[in-house]
Amino acid sequence: MDAGVPAQLMRREMAAATSGAGRCRLSKVGAVRRPPPARVRVAVRLRPFVDGTSGANDTPCVRGLDSYSLEIANWRNHQETLKYQFDAFYGERSSQQDIYAGSVQPILRHLLEGQNASVLAYGPTGAGKTHTMLGSPEQPGVIPRALMDLLQLTREEGAEGRPWSLSVTMSYLEIYQEKVLDLLNPASGDLVIREDCRGNILIPGLTQKPITSFADFEQHFLPASRNRTVGATRLNQRSSRSHAVLLVKVDQRERLAPFRQREGKLYLIDLAGSEDNRRTGNKGLRLKESGAINSSLFVLGKVVDALNQGLPRVPYRDSKLTRLLQDSLGGSAHSILIANIAPERCFYLDTVSALNFAARSKEVINRPFTNESLQLHVLAPVKLSQKELVGPSEAKRARGPEEEEIGNHEPPAPPASASQKFSPLQKLSSMDPAMLERLLSLDRLLGSRGTQGTPLLSTPKRERMVLMKTVEEKDLEIERLKMKQKELEAKVRAQETLDPKEKENCSPTMLRPLARRTVTVAKPLKKAVVIPLQLIQEQAASPNANIHILKKKSRKRKLECLDATKPKEEAEDCWELQISPELLAHGRQKILDILNEGSARDLRSLQRIGQKKAQLIVGWRELHGPFSQVEDLEHVKVMSGKQLESFLKANILGLAAGQHCSPS
């Protein structure tokens, strides 16, 4: 049975590409241009026989056909073989250099482009995953070789005179029984895995160590490797009991405008091998560790199947391992899967399972893109003097008369020329000296190159425009703060200034009322005084008498009776206020003065005049001029004639009695 037919693989790859198109995050790269697809590349490595694992005459169950394909015996039918075809196949005699140069080294260049890459070592326990990733001092593995070449690349690309400056940092962690542990700082405890707004996977609190040479890498990596959890089983004396992940970040910053930033991540992952507890003899803690390893690898298989089938939900969150590998499988990384298999017949089922997983992983489609951001150059804070902060007018007022006389003798500054007025470097005098020196050096460089340096001409100009815009924004911010300060000072002065009436009624110990707050003062109570009749008559006889007497006046009213034709009249006593004509005229004139000159508040002090009527009177007065007589209120349609009569009577009585009427 042929398991690697090229036509069938092509159909699967096309189907995966169409299904993966819907799973791509458009928010990372924009909705206009989508990144090109990149299939997960799979390499298979067959380790040689290990002494003591099988008999001397045992034949291998796997055989390589060429550098891309292999075959394995079919356990269902011994007369048939299962054939697999991958991107690369490394036989028993392949070296560490062959695997690194053939599969891993080509993806390192993507890190300098701001893209992510990952290398995964997969396979059963005892198949040689850790040896492939770490190796030995005589035969270094993928991790030391990749770090050595990557550091060399960053030194070359970040040399003086190159457009980019590069820095490299490393982090090392393990996933042990669904716990994320920092191997560089074991005391940090269990860490959490998060996802930022752009969909990038990150681990807050994970230690990052900067490295500039391979010696720095060894100084951090070798002690951290001894912190990894290992244990002895029947199949391996130093079996990995956790998944180890080495994260290397390459940060790039552009030296010239527009000051772009790039970040590339390299994941070097040594997965723990799947275990058959019947052969490993695991018990107790080893059995618990084996269960956690097999569970995470099972979820990893489910993720691959979901990606190949185009399911709407991919179970990344079902395991810490798959959550961390979200970028590597179906994400935005150039991924390499190195499947390690064993030739012994006792590993037959594990080998078939690993090859099937590798064949399914080859159909997963990733979409790498450049992690690039544009950040304006941050300027140093400008320190302004007190004269520049308060402005020229306020600074002139703050100076004394002697200083002002001295300042007047200074000769006026000559007017700036047109070239100085529009010079981009004129407003940069108050900036950071280092940045100013850098701009001047760029200006000299352009002057020396002349018209030959065409690629560099646009860059300093853009840099100057950015700096000019930043300075203008700072100037506008200072002006805005000045205006705000003036407004606050005006508000404080308004609060300090009170009306004279409010000052009289407020004691010194009372709190000052807030602005725009109406303070009402209690009026003294009015008292009725009973005067003897003789005294009233004497005062009334005097020429300047201003006494108003209540007299009893009889008034007849008709009473209803049984006979409606003969109404019955009965006298009724009532009291009536008699007012002198002079006082009546004086009251009408006072009311007229209030109507013509009073504010809305004064109008509300009159009886039967409320807020709406007061506003109506003020508006009519502004349109038609002052009132000639009180009866003009009928034209304003504030009140009718009958209501006007009661209005005059009530207010004249109040004014005559010296009362201050409250609003109705």
List CB contacts of 389: < 8 A, sequence separation 6 or more.
478, 482
127 in a known ligand binding site: yes
Q: Is 125 annotated as a binding residue?
A: yes
Burial of residue 166 (CB within 10 Å: 0-12, 13-18, 19+) is buried
Cβ pair 236, 87 in contact under 8 A: no
Q: Does the annotation flag 132 for ligand binding?
A: no
455 annotated as a binding-site residue: no
CA distance 644 to 627: 15
Neighbours of 168 (CB within 10 A): 25
Helix (H, G, I), strand (E, B) or coil at 175: strand
Q: Is 503 annotated as a binding residue?
A: no
Which strand (E) or helix (H) includes residue 260? strand 260-270
**For residue 70, which phi and psi values (nearest 5 degrees)?**
-150, 170
Is 284 annotated in a binding site? The answer is: no
558, containing H or E segment: strand 549-559
Cβ pair 108, 150 in contact under 8 A: yes
Residue 129 assigned as binding residue: yes
Amino acid letter, residue 237: Q
Q: Please give the Cα distance from 264 to 167 (Å, whole number).
A: 11
Question: In this structure, what token pair is assigned to residue 334?
Answer: 């150039």
Q: What are phi and psi of 526, to 5 degrees?
A: -90, 140
- Judge whether 359 is annotated as a binding position: no
Contact indicator for 115, 371 with CB cutoff of 8 Å: yes
Short-list 328, 22, 374, 368, CA closest to 201: 328
Torsion of the alpha carbons at 103, 339, 292 and 246, rounded to the nearest 10: -10
Half-sphere exposure of 389 (CA within 13 A, CB side): 7
Distances 486 to 301, 349, 390, 495 between C-alpha atoms, Å: 68, 83, 10, 14
Among 644, 535, 629, 542, residue whose Cα is nearest residue 588: 629
- How far is 588 from 444, CA to CA, in rounded Å? 89
CB 183 within 8 A of CB 144: no
655, two tokens: 């004014």
Which residues are known binding-site members?
123-130
Which residues are known binding-site members for ATP?
123-130
